[in-house]
A and B are shown apart, each in its own frame.
Chain A
Amino acid sequence: MVLPTSVEEASRLLPTAEGGASAKLLAGGQDLLTELKEHLVEPDTLVNLKSVPGLDTIEWNEAGELTIGALVTLTDLEEEAGVVEKLPILSEAAASIASAQIRSVGTVGGNLNQRPRCWYYRAEHAPCLKKGGSECYAFEGRNKYNAILGGGPSYIVHPSDLAPALVALGAKVTLKSHSTSRQLLLEDFYTLPSDGDILTETRLKPDEVLTHVHIPKQRAGMRSTYLKFKERASYDFALSSVALCLWLDQGQITRTRIVLGGVAPKPWRTVKGEQAILGKRVDARTIEMAREACLDGAVTLSENGFKIPLTKGLLTRAFQKLA
């Protein structure tokens, strides 16, 4: 284990695009340690980001923008007073993750960069597409938990609960290496399997570190919520989730952001669903239009057809909660 004292130093220890050391970044470890135990990754070095100062704070600036360090724990995010008051969608998403024990230690950066939960991916001896194999076993195998939107050739779903909420809030992420620094919309940070590199879910380069998440000041009057459906009532990953931001003027929708979780290989923003309901009142007909438009193009596998009515139900509940 290596303890770097700066992001630049951490980056130099990571592999480059051409390969090199098989080092992995360690933050809270709540995903990485389980991957190590299953031998899904076998790095020769762990680069412990927790020795880098300045990445564990939540800061509001005077303009009302929020910056969250990658090492902020999920518990700290969930409980931050300004987040609870102004961004319920984010507090609700953080609270919905795993258990108290995991939220105490798991970090924002780790949650956004966690790897798929598909059981073929997690099974040590299954050489699936996501591990460099030639086949997505879920496509013709057991696929109850897999994607109905954006799938192919891999059908994983992205497991993060923070990601749909942050995409709905228009968040950006800062990605730093020893020689570069860039910002991306979180929406553009995530990729589909058909976009190219099947071995990753993001545009993070091998020597980059996700250091901060930035949330712009939201327009006045935003109502927001994150609803998640789990197979068991205690803790679990989302079978489906809805991140909804809504702005109303005299009952009419002036602006909205709708992002689905648990149903696609990345947080699934549905611009089509958003546009379908602009200017309308939140009534049964409008909700029906949103439900249809948001699920447009969904293709079910043999065992995950339930995700369509489930997601539609969550959309109805989310609109009813906010209207």
Chain B
Amino acid sequence: MTIDNSMQISFELNGSMRRARVEPHERLIDLLRDVLGETGTKEGCGEGECGACTVLVEGRAVNSCLFPAPEVEGLRVVTIEGLCGEGLQLSPVQAAFLEGGATQCGFCTPGMVVSTVALLGENPAPSASDIRNALTGNLCRCTGYVQIVEAIQSAAAKLSAGGEA
């Protein structure tokens, strides 16, 4: 048994190993934004309703506002920053959101994009209903979702022709 106050953790963030000292009650989103400076991940509701804070942990979409930071020890975390290629080249999903006008104010977009990457990892050719189902945990208050669904279908089509989400 270990009783810890702060603890040293190391984990893979967007392909690089990172070390940090975290408090037991610290949230993953605070570690990412305030300690490691990766501010692409947004905090909306702070209680798991809106999905703006979505990141990938071991390839699965999670709400980083409801995820204890110490628990990423040894795991692989990907945030919106980790999706870009060399020289900040946009990934196919990001490019599809941009081209399809699937953003408006943009606050939900990092979470939307990250949830999309999780979806396409499991289902490379999702139907519109699969997409809506996979994104139920991501709220957008501007777009009405139609262009988001279209952008995801477009990204899926491009990816099936070759490429990585």
Contact = CB atoms under 8 A, between A and B. Distances in A.
Contacts of B132: 234
A37 B47 contact: yes
A29 interface: yes
A34 B48 contact: yes
Interface in A56-115: 75, 98-102, 104-105
B24 A75 contact: no
A101 B66 CA distance: 10
Nearest to A102: B48
B1 A33 contact: no
A141 to B, nearest CB: 23
A30 to B, nearest CB: 6
Contacts, number: 72
A45 to B, nearest CB: 9
Interface stretch (A2-10, A266-274, A298-306): A2-10
A1 interface: yes
B66 A34 contact: yes
Contact of A98 (B46, B118, B137): B137
Contacts of A37: 46-47
Interface stretch (B56-64, B78-86, B88-96, B151-159): B56-64
B61 A100 contact: yes
A115 B61 CA distance: 24
A234 B136 contact: yes
Contact of A75 (B25, B51, B60, B67): B60
A99 B139 CA distance: 11
Interface in A24-62: 26, 29-30, 33-34, 37, 46, 48, 50
Interface in A1-21: 1-5, 9
Contacts of A75: 60
B109 interface: no
Most chain A C-beta atoms within 10 Å of own C-beta, residue among B51, B118, B136: B136
A102 B60 contact: no
A98 B66 CA distance: 14
A3 B24 CA distance: 10
Contact of A100 (B25, B70, B134): B134
A75 B25 CA distance: 25
Contacts of A5: 1
A57 B46 CA distance: 30
B124 interface: no
B20 to A, nearest CB: 16
A308 B142 CA distance: 36
A43 B115 CA distance: 33
Given A30-B66, A37-B46, A50-B71, A101 B61 contact: yes
A100 B120 CA distance: 13
A34 B132 CA distance: 25
B137 A100 contact: yes
Interface of B: 1-4, 24-25, 46-48, 51, 54, 57, 60-63, 66-68, 70-71, 115, 118-119, 132, 134, 136-138
5 contacts: A3-B1, A29-B67, A34-B48, A100-B119, A101-B61
